[in-house]
Structures are given as C-alpha cells and as structure tokens.
Amino acid sequence: MRSNFKGPHRLSRNRPEWQRISGGVAAARGFLASGVAAEIKKQGLDLAVVFSSRPSVACGVFTTNLVKAAPVLLSKKHLSRARGRIRAVLLNSGCANACTGRRGMAGAVRSARCLASHLGIDPYQVVVASTGVIGIALPIQKLLKGIPAAVAALSPDGWEAAARAIMTTDTREKTCAVEGRIGDRPVRIGGMAKGAGMIHPQMATMLSVITTDAAIPRPVLESVFRRVVERTFNCLTVDGDTSTNDMVLLIANGASDAKVEGAGSAYFEQGLEIVCEEMAKMVARDGEGATKFVEVLVDGASSVDQGRRVAKAIAHSPLVKTALYGQELNWGRIVAAAGCSGVRFNPDRVVLRLCGIPVFRNGMAVSSTQRRAEEALAAHDLQIHLDLAQGRASARIWTCDLSHGYIDINGSYIT
C-alpha cells in the first residue's frame, strides 16, 4: 500500500476527472442537511442533521480509544443492527457525551429515537455523534427540543450550516464535494468534517460524514472506504491525542443510478480519496493554534509501516513542532525524533530536506544551504522530507505546528 505522492487526481486517461463542486455533505442527490442552534453551546449552531431521503447503505470507522463515548457505542450497535441501512445522522457540538455513564447512554438512545420518529424511520437507522467537553452530562432536553427545528430546516442548502454546527475549536467549517461520471451518469461524493484538537490517526479521527449518490454494494463500499481512510484521515495528527468520540461515516444512497462495480470501484475510490484527503488536510491546517501546515514525507523505508512510524515520531515531537512555529532551522530535532522512533536506519546515509532543500546529509549539516532553508521556513505550508535510504516504501503524515495558540485554547477549554 504505497502512498501515491503524485496526488490522487491523476486518473487513467480513459476516465473523466473528478471536478470540485459545492454542496458539501448535501452535494450528492437525495441528501439533505441542516444546522441549528439548540443552546448546547453558549452561542452559535450546535446541532446538525444529515438525512438521505432514499434507502441507503453506510459504513463507519470509529475511535480505537478504549474509552468510547456513548454515541460511539450506540452508533456501532445501530450500524450493525440496521445492517448498514443508515438513513440519518444526528450530530451535536458542545458536549462529547463521553464518561457520562448510563445517563449518557440513555440520552443518546432518546435522541436517536426522537430524530427517527420525526423522520419516519427506524431508530436503528440513526447514527449519533457528539463532540465537545468530556465528562459533562448531555443537556438532553435542549437536544430533544432542537431536533424538530433541525428536521424542519433540512434542505439541499443546509450543508454549510451543518458543517458549522459540528465545529468546536475549529476556526472554519470543513467541507468538500466532487462530481465525476460512471458510465454516462454523473456521480457525486461530498462531506463535512470537524477537527482541530485531540487528533491522531488510529483507525479513525475526528467527526466526518461523507455522502454519495453512487449505487454501491455494501461490501465494496466498506473495502473502498477502509482503504481511503487509511490513506487520508489516518495520515493526520495534530497532537497525538485520540478522542473518545472519533467517527467517520460514509452513506451511499444510489440516487444517481450509477452502479459502482468492477473497474468503476477504482474510479469511485479515487473520488472518495480526493474528498477525504482534502478534508484531512483541512483538519491539519486548522489544528488548534496552528500557524503552519506540515507534510512529513518519509521515503526509502523498508515498509510503509516503518515509514509511518518515523513520520509519526517527527509529527508528534513537541520540539520539532515548536521549532517550526518559531521558524527556526533546528533540524537536529527532526533527526533526533526519527532516531527514537524505534525504526532502525543508518543516520550517516539519511538525507533530510526541508521544503525541498537538503539540510542534513552524510551524518552532518549541508552547510551551504542553511541560510536558504532558514528563509524557506517562513512559508505557511512546509514539507519535511526524510530519505531513510533503506528500502523503497514511503509514508506521509499531515500535521501542524505547536504554538502559543494551542496552549491558549487547551489551557482554558472549559471556562
């Protein structure tokens, strides 16, 4: 599973390219979305609904944290009971409903039932997702009161409000949608995501809902989805903390009548990868307090897994991240972080490039380039590229710097 660093947009010549369109999570036919203010947060939108007006299939990946929030536990159960035939997603910000015991679970159940009855579907066809502070009780009355308004507001234009309603420390909403063609039929894939903090790739990160009007059998949907999540959302880290509430959900309702099968599934996978990669990068770019977007690319690894371990060690190092924030060419910290990743390599053979400029080679500084590399650090988008000179595998991780802003946000998150 070598990553494709040419970008996922290069398709075979016989196939139409995927085009960006607007519409986010409601770009695909037959999907409606809404975002309303239910007073769960002190101010602003905080309750979102995504609804497929037609029968659908869905699959999800969930946090691997042992401590799972009530909505995660409930949604996994519903996906399984409904055999993937999910029709609606209810999302709230302002409260994670995690570490809230039986009352938290009861609240999640009640909110799913309430939405189902307003939509005329089975409660098992509802996925619920919450994000916000851990350990505080779900304001269930406010949530239940908000549901009729959210259902009434459902429309193809509600996608921006929905994306705003799931934001916590995010500074901007994160949506992406594309349109392609399968056979002679247009197909759309779109989504929304929230991120910012407590972001680390462990099979699932943050909240994201992705919708498509492709007609795709559930087993194909699942395998495509897992591969794409692995290459996109799981290449993402902000602070190495894994949330109790992470969830990425993909719903396909077949409204385009375009059947994904055979070679079409590779084409569909490319479209899905564009959407997921774009949103994953948006999350890194909007990491809590981030002033830099950083791609860590490790080449020459003996396996993708080894490359990832090195890339993650670099992306998680507070010392690397603060140096990037300070725009300091302290590349020794990058080499040191790689050296304690647990992956064996020969430090004398590795080459480290910053924004394309070699700064470390033959076990020491490339002295002629230091000034130029220092200047390159002023850019917003940075690339750390380490060639381990060991094998042929590559891996990449998207992250951000560690700034005063992160401390500000997380030192006073509750108050």
Residues of this chain that bind its own copies (CB under 8 A):
64-68, 96, 98-104, 133-136, 197-198, 200, 202, 239-244, 316-319, 322-323, 325-326, 328-333, 335-340, 343-345, 347-348, 360, 362-365, 402-404, 406-407, 410-415
With beta carbons less than 8 A apart as the criterion, state whether 301 and 388 touch: yes
Q: Which alpha helices (H) appear in 6-69, and where do they start and end?
A: none
Helices (H), 208-363: 218-231, 264-285, 304-316, 318-325, 332-339
Q: How far is the CB of 125 from its own copies (least distance, A)?
A: 27
Least distance in angstroms from the C-beta of 101 to its own copies: 3
Single-letter code of the amino acid located at 372: R
Q: Cβ closer to its own copies: 68 or 188?
A: 68
Question: Residue with structure tokens 């994160």?
Answer: 174
CB of 233 to its own copies, least distance (A): 16
- Residue number with CB closer to its own copies (364 or 378): 364
Which residues belong to the active site?
Answer: 205
**Cα distance between residue 18 and residue 274, in whole Å:** 8
Closer to its own copies at the Cβ: 158 or 197? 197
For its own copies, the closer of residues 4 and 202 by Cβ is 202
CA distance 72 to 250: 15
Q: Which residues pair with 89 in a beta bridge?
A: 50, 127
Residue 73's SS3 state is helix
* C-beta separation of 345 from 389 below 8 A: yes
111 or 243: CB nearest its own copies: 243
Instruction: Kindly state the smallest distance separating residue 88's Cβ from its own copies, in Å.
Output: 27
User: Residue 126 in contact with residue 88, Cβ under 8 Å?
Assistant: yes
Angle between helices 318-325 and 304-316 (to 10 degrees): 60
Q: Minimum CB separation from its own copies for residue 195, in Å? A: 14
Tokens of 375: 């200047």
